[in-house]
Amino acid sequence: MSSRHTRWRRHLGIVALLTVYLALASTYNFVTPLFEAPDEIWHYLYVRHLASGKGLPIQVETGSSLLDQQEAAQPPLYYALAALVTTSAPRGELSSIAVENPSGSVGDPTTDGNKNHFVHGLSQAFPWRGEVWTVHLARATSTALGALTVALTYLTGLELGLPLGVALAGAAAVALNPQFLFMSAAVDNDVAVAAAGALLLWCVVRQLRRPLSHRRSAMHGVVAGLALLAKPLALGGVGLVCLALGIAAWRARESIRSFVVHSVIATGVATAISGWWLIHNLLAYRTALPLDLFLARTDTLSHVSRLSEIVAGLAGLDESFWELFGWFNILAPPAHYVLYNALMALGGVGLASWGLRLWNPTGQLAPARRYCDWLGFAVVAAWSVLALAGLFLWLLIVTAFQGRLAFSGIAAYAIVLAVGWAGLAPRRFATAVSLALASVLAVPAVSAPWLVIQPAYARPRVLPPGAVAPRRPVNELIGPDVLLLGVDLDPALSSLHPGDVVDVTLYLEGTHPMNRDYTLFIQLLDWRSTPLVKVDSYPGRGAFPTSFWEPGTVIVDRYRLDVPNNVAVPSVGDLIVGMYWRPTMERLPVLDLDERPLGNAISLGPVVFRGDSVPTSDVHGVVFGDTMVLVGHSIERTSLAPGEMLQGDLEYATLAPVDRDYTIFVHLMGTSGLVAQDDGPPRGGAFPTRFWMPGERVTTPFAIAIPSSLRQGVYRLVTGWYDEKTGARLRTPEGDSVVLGDVQILDSRSQP
């Protein structure tokens, strides 16, 4: 067997890894709907503009139109490559496939549904056609650049002298990073800067063991210039080149003059490669980097992030480097982040162990110094620091903790991590340990498309009409075209507590084709009909607008409502559902099956919010009508002047369910009868008595205005209950009321 063939067999591992990477990136491309990666629509517009032969787009102030060119001021390298790939691809009416979801939850992973920033019709389904195919083809450009990043990470590890398996583990830490795979399957320039950074790192590491040459220095400048044309965050690449040239000059015992000459060559070529774009910006925007326009600010430094903001965002930075999908609104299971943090912690422990062995050659693992080119490893570490420094400079002016913005150094991070994993074990086991830990990343990488991404954009179940049996039938029309067959509610609305979660399942049927996309609303109201929780969404939690519905099929639409912790208890509210036409905000009328009007919302309530209760055996006090028990009371002041307010609280409990609504009265009685009163439903109407449960304690306030003409003296304060319809009072063992105490009315002339 030839030596060339033998060398190729040594590298079958990276070939296999690249194959896995391409399969995974293609999977992410397949399951991620169009434009559901951050800013993908605007990145694609840049590509489309170039592919149409219109030259570089010009950044304008962001307006209300979705198709505004927000990313037009970005460096052109990635977009030129993607435009070259898609030049001959089909075009169409982009506005027909880039339809915004008005309720899309950008940047909020806590929302239930509406993860889709856009709505996605069947025209976007596989097999792809027209401009849908073109977008997926542009995504393939990112995938190819991602494969280049993986390969260059491996080659850089070999240049460092790392064992083959450790170099492969570093490449796997890139290829199996779910966030890198997600961005590799999107139209976005972050993977381009990752590839440029990996190419730059490979070039400078190669330089460390080679003599200086003008040709190589010029090539370093070319690569650094390309990195700048990928993204300005790669600005530290020029410094990395100069660092590598300095180390190479020191190793070859070159003069300082020689180092300066080669640095000038590299810097000059980098400037020549990227300088034309900076000149273009000066001519177009009167600034080399139009950040003010890009950020829609009058002054770039009008907002500088505080240290507390940066520290608070570090957790989000960690999450979004590994696994945060969609428009920053789809989190992975918590166990995934535990895994990533554990792998990084193990890498840190291994690096510390490796460093101790490096500086202590008399230890058990003396060959640590020969484990790799330690100066080369220092350069790799320096690039990771420079990449992070660029990111943190960006975070000073933009509070956008997005791990993908650190991808310029992803090859360096992966190599450092792989070396750290290898440092956990003796040399003969180092490769196996590093590969084993890297392979663990395959679990979230493989599962994320199917268990995290696809469910976030899934449409609701659609069933034939006879296949559903709602627990609570409704059978009311919302407008003439939507029939609410019924609902499932879990738990029952008759007993909710602060912090509870209510699962609401609606069974909706389209009775006719619809060419409008109506917005569904669900509102959990308090006793004053003020919304406590509001859901406004296209059906299917944003994924299934009404214009997509087939008449005669039933949509099973599920929502989750969080009962606020500060809801007033006990009280009675309502749960309502309906639809409206967003351009006018006009609600659709609710009709019965004979199309008689019933209002503009369907009530699914009442909803009873309850507090704590006690066993009825612990309820003691004055009993009214064998059901309600006065267990306590308080009076704010018992000495008042005419014109003041007599206020206090009554605490009641129940021994048995109450079958009707009673009115509570608090009367101020004189020798000649009633002088002032406060009659009304308990808690001001918030909690009618027919909703009271045995053992439930209800505190209701009272407030009586003392008449200004009332004479001084001592009056009695009494309370009781009556049926407002009949006027009949509830009886107690001693009558139809109970005395709360005496109230002294002072002479108004003695008051200030």
User: Rounded mean pLDDT of 69-76?
Assistant: 79
The answer to whether residues 648 and 672 belong to one domain is yes
Cα 423 to Cα 342, 426, 438, 611: the distances in Å are: 15, 7, 14, 57
Integer Cα distance of 106 and 325 in angstroms: 11
738, 699 in Cβ contact below 8 A?
Answer: no
Stretch among 59-63, 162-166, 203-207 having the lowest mean pLDDT: 59-63
Q: Please give the pLDDT value at position 367.
A: 40
The answer to whether residues 80 and 197 belong to one domain is yes
Q: Is residue 46 part of a domain?
A: yes
Cα 28 to Cα 22, 330, 465: the distances in Å are: 10, 14, 35
Query: What CATH code is carried by the domain that includes residue 514?
Result: 2.60.40.10
Q: Please give the pLDDT value at position 6.
A: 59
Using a pLDDT cut of 70, give the percent of the chain over it: 90
Domain boundary among 564, 587, 609: 609
Q: Please give the pLDDT value at position 734.
A: 84
With 80 as the cut, is the pLDDT of residue 233 above it? no
User: b/e string for 444-456 if b means 16 or more Cβ within 10 A?
Assistant: bbbebbeebbeeb
In sequence order, what are the beta bridge partners of 510? 482
Region of residue 552 (phi > 0: left; psi between -120 and 50: alpha; otherwise: beta): left
The answer to whether residues 328 and 404 belong to one domain is yes
User: Rounded mean pLDDT of 272-293?
Assistant: 82
- Bigger pLDDT: 128 vs 747: 128
Domain boundary among 575, 609, 643: 609
pTM of the model: 0.86
Q: Is residue 322 part of a domain?
A: yes
Q: Is residue 126 part of a domain?
A: no
Integer Cα distance of 105 and 118 in angstroms: 10
Stretch among 211-220, 328-337, 411-420 having the lowest mean pLDDT: 211-220
Question: pLDDT band at residue 468, thresholds of 50, 70 and 90?
Answer: confident
Integer Cα distance of 297 and 291 in angstroms: 8
Residue 214 C-alpha from the chain's centroid: 50
The answer to whether residues 307 and 416 belong to one domain is yes
The answer to whether residues 284 and 387 belong to one domain is yes
Question: pLDDT band at residue 368, thresholds of 50, 70 and 90?
Answer: very low
pLDDT in tens, 494-540: 999 999 999 999 999 999 999 999 999 999 999 999 999 999 999 99
With 60 as the cut, is the pLDDT of residue 370 above it? no
pLDDT in tens, 630-674: 999 999 999 999 999 999 999 999 988 888 999 999 999 998 899
Helix (H, G, I), strand (E, B) or coil at 303: coil
In this structure, what is the dihedral angle of CA atoms 190, 194, 197, 199, given to the nearest 10 degrees?
A: -130
Integer Cα distance of 571 and 700 in angstroms: 11
Stretch among 66-75, 267-276, 280-289, 341-350 having the lowest mean pLDDT: 66-75
Q: Is residue 108 part of a domain?
A: no
Rg (CA), the chain: 36
Query: What CATH code is carried by the domain that includes residue 715?
Result: 2.60.40.770
The answer to whether residues 577 and 717 belong to one domain is no
Q: Is residue 144 part of a domain?
A: yes
Show Cβ contacts of residue 189 under 8 Å, excluding neighbours closer than 6 positions: 43, 74, 75, 77, 78, 79, 230, 231
The answer to whether residues 178 and 39 belong to one domain is yes
Residue with tokens 């166990």: 335
With 80 as the cut, is the pLDDT of residue 397 above it? no
Domain boundary among 452, 471, 499: 452
The answer to whether residues 539 and 561 belong to one domain is yes
Region of residue 441 (phi > 0: left; psi between -120 and 50: alpha; otherwise: beta): alpha
The answer to whether residues 542 and 631 belong to one domain is no
Q: Which two tokens stand for residue 713?
A: 């003296």
Q: Please give the pLDDT value at position 312.
A: 66
Stretch among 272-281, 390-399, 548-557 having the lowest mean pLDDT: 390-399
Stretch among 142-156, 378-392, 573-587, 589-603 having the lowest mean pLDDT: 378-392
The answer to whether residues 596 and 551 belong to one domain is yes
Q: Please give the pLDDT value at position 396.
A: 67
Q: Is residue 732 part of a domain?
A: yes
Total domain count, the chain: 3
In this structure, what is the dihedral angle of CA atoms 562, 565, 567, 568, given to the nearest 10 degrees?
A: 150
With 50 as the cut, is the pLDDT of residue 752 above it? no
Task: Assign 3-state DSSP to the chain and report helix, strand, coil percentages, each to 5.
Answer: 45, 20, 35
The answer to whether residues 430 and 491 belong to one domain is no
- Average pLDDT, whole number, for the chain? 88
Integer Cα distance of 604 and 478 in angstroms: 14
User: Rounded mean pLDDT of 225-252?
Assistant: 81
With 60 as the cut, is the pLDDT of residue 164 above it? yes
Integer Cα distance of 261 and 154 in angstroms: 31
pLDDT in tens, 398-438: 666 677 888 989 999 999 999 999 989 888 888 999 999 99
DSSP 326-356: TTTTEEPPHHHHHHHHHHHHHHHHHHHHHHH
With 80 as the cut, is the pLDDT of residue 205 above it? yes
Q: Is residue 161 part of a domain?
A: yes
Residue with tokens 């704590």: 612
With 50 as the cut, is the pLDDT of residue 365 above it? no
Handedness of CA 397, 398, 402, 404 (dihedral sign): negative
Question: pLDDT band at residue 110, thresholds of 50, 70 and 90?
Answer: confident
- Bigger pLDDT: 446 vs 229: 446
Q: Which two tokens stand for residue 215?
A: 């040709």
Helix (H, G, I), strand (E, B) or coil at 221: helix
Instruction: Give the count of alpha carbons within 13 A of 644, CB side only.
Output: 18
Q: Please give the pLDDT value at position 464.
A: 86
The answer to whether residues 603 and 650 belong to one domain is no
372, 162 in Cβ contact below 8 A?
Answer: yes
Identity of the amino acid at 455: P
User: Rounded mean pLDDT of 598-613?
Assistant: 91
With 70 as the cut, is the pLDDT of residue 112 above it? yes
Question: pLDDT band at residue 626, thresholds of 50, 70 and 90?
Answer: confident
According to the per-residue pLDDT averaged within each range, which of 51-55, 169-173, 296-300, 655-659 is highest? Answer: 169-173
Integer Cα distance of 13 and 169 in angstroms: 10
Using a pLDDT cut of 90, give the percent of the chain over it: 60
- Expressed as residue numbers, the domain containing 736 is 616-750
Integer Cα distance of 658 and 163 in angstroms: 80
pLDDT in tens, 698-711: 999 999 999 999 99
User: Rounded mean pLDDT of 724-739?
Assistant: 91
Stretch among 198-202, 304-308, 546-550, 685-689 having the lowest mean pLDDT: 304-308
**What string of H, E and C letters represents the secondary structure of 99-165?**
EECCCCCCCCCCCCCCCCCEECCHHHCCCCCHHHHHHHHHHHHHHHHHHHHHHHHHHHHHHCCCCHH
Q: Is residue 98 part of a domain?
A: no
User: Rounded mean pLDDT of 303-328?
Assistant: 77
565, 499 in Cβ contact below 8 A?
Answer: yes
Region of residue 33 (phi > 0: left; psi between -120 and 50: alpha; otherwise: beta): beta
